[in-house]
Amino acid sequence: MKTALITGVTGQDGSYLAELLIQKGYEVHGMIRRSSSFNTSRIDHLYNDPNVLHSKLFLHYGDMTDSSNLNRILDRVKPDEIYNLAAQSHVKVSFEVPEYTAEVDGLGTLRILDAMKETQVGAKFYQASTSELFGKVQEVPQIETTPFYPRSPYAVAKLFSYWTVVNYREAYNLFACNGILFNHESPRRGGTFVTRKITQAVVRIMRGGQSTPIKLGNINSQRDWGYAPEYVEGMWRVLQSASPSDYLLATNETHTVREFIEQAFAYFGENIYWEGVDESEKGFLRSNSQLVVEIDPYYYRPTEVDLLVGDYSKAKRELGWEPKVKFDELVSIMVRADLENYENQNEKH
Ligand code: NAP
Ligand code: F7E
């Protein structure tokens, strides 16, 4: 039985990855942050499963800012594979807490890699790198060799981690890999990221639970959105490759935030029409002219990433990885899940 350690196990990706690895027969150890309130909602279903608890999933308190606990966890668990997913992962928030973001997303990675080197734990290491590294893009579509141009404290911290992984691989012969993952979403996506913010609000609006419009920032930015469960399977494949390397996972399609809004309303058979420009632009339902989208400059970023689209040919060729869920289906999956949640909650009340 293989043993895996997942940092960030309570996050969107960590929860899907824990599920996948348990299914594959791994013993999974997850690192969680100490919190005054419960922060395990995404893994509670695993934790409460008697087939899983006490035999396949073990949780350890820890924090990416604290070397001593990272060393201790590595020493106790002696994992075969480490998936470093823990991060302050919100790009806009990183402009507000840049130093903390660098501590967690940059130095945190160095802390684990250095502990691996010192303890000679011999694990394979996966780093959650990101399409945000491409930032102000130098090439379309982006591939593994496209030059980086980070545009946020988040991306700069992740760039530090990217190169630390490469350096520790070359200097100390560690099996350490970067997965350069483009945006991937799911019903477990945090509610402050744009996709989930839209799907939750669209459901409330269409079911009469919200009469005010959704307030959004830049709706013209373009993203390559995939489906998170497929991407965590890609993470696992990265660590099963014959030799350590860096891989880009994406769908090779790009869509605007505006299209995401239109597609989410289309789930309910509604069309949107737009009036005004820039901060004055507004979106209305074609059926009854209800105002449903407004621009709020609060959500603008000091520097934006305008266009991301990734060519995943290397992952397809070397790992046999290919995404199946594309944009329209992804939006449907997310809206359907939020609609079910909404209806379940309303039944209970
Ligand atoms: P997420 O939902 O925000 O989860 C982040 C995880 O990190 C949570 O478990 C969080 O714990 C934990 N964490 C945050 N700060 C920590 C700290 N100081 N010490 C220990 N744990 C900490 O992110 P995600 O979407 O699953 O993404 C997973 C990773 O992939 C992240 O590194 C992200 O930057 C990267 N990434 C994501 C995408 C994407 O589109 N989702 C794309 C490329 C790369 P709490 O639950 O306690 O907050
Ligand atoms: O923004 C625009 C915003 O916050 C997407 C993280 O997982 O993926 C994610 O980063 C776009 C941006 O994701 C709102 O300006 C408009 O252009 O959903 P997001 P992100 O910044 O792309 C990458 C790959 C990661 O690595 C990150 O960890 O949507 N946008 N209006 C908005 N964004 C938000 N959050 N909220 C708005 O109201």
How many whole angstroms separate alpha carbon 250 and alpha carbon 182?
Answer: 5
Q: Does 188 have pLDDT greater than 70? A: yes
Closest to 247 in 3D by CA, of 188, 304, 322 = 322
In total, the chain counts a number of residues equal to 349
Amino acid 259: pLDDT: 98
Catalytic residues: 130, 132, 154
Amino acid 50: pLDDT: 73
User: Measuring from atom 34 of ligand 2, which residue has the nearest CA?
Assistant: 194
Q: How far is the CA of 315 from the centre of ligand 1 (A)?
A: 23
* Domains in the chain with CATH codes: 3-186+225-253+308-325 (3.40.50.720), 194-220+256-305+328-348 (3.90.25.10)
Q: How far is the CA of 269 from the centre of ligand 2 (A)?
A: 26
- CB of 63 closer than 6 angstroms to any ligand 1 atom: yes
Contact 306, 222 (CB under 8 A): yes
Beta-strand ranges (E) seen in 237-290 are 247-249, 255-256, 272-275, 282-285
Give the number of the atom of ligand 1 that is nearest the alpha carbon of residue 184.
Answer: 40
Q: How far is the CA of 18 from the centre of ligand 1 (A)?
A: 14
Per-residue model confidence as pLDDT tens digits over 88-97 = 999 999 999 9
| pTM score over 0.95 | yes
Q: Does 349 have pLDDT greater than 70? A: no
Amino acid 53: pLDDT: 63
Per-residue model confidence as pLDDT tens digits over 55-87 = 799 999 999 999 999 999 999 999 999 999 999
What percent of the chain has pLDDT above 90? 95
Distances (CA, A) of 107 to 65, 70, 115: 8, 12, 12
Mean pLDDT of the chain, nearest integer: 97
User: Ligand nearest 133 Cα, by number?
Assistant: 2
How many whole angstroms separate alpha carbon 179 and alpha carbon 228?
Answer: 13
Amino acid 54: pLDDT: 65
* pLDDT band per the 50, 70, 90 thresholds, residue 201: very high
Amino acid 52: pLDDT: 72
90 SS3 class: coil
Beta-strand ranges (E) seen in the chain are 3-7, 27-32, 57-61, 81-84, 124-130, 176-181, 184-185, 214-216, 222-223, 226-227, 247-249, 255-256, 272-275, 282-285, 291-295
Stretch 285-292: mean pLDDT: 98
Give the number of the atom of ligand 2 that is nearest the alpha carbon of residue 306.
Answer: 17
Per-residue model confidence as pLDDT tens digits over 145-183 = 999 999 999 999 999 999 999 999 999 999 999 999 999
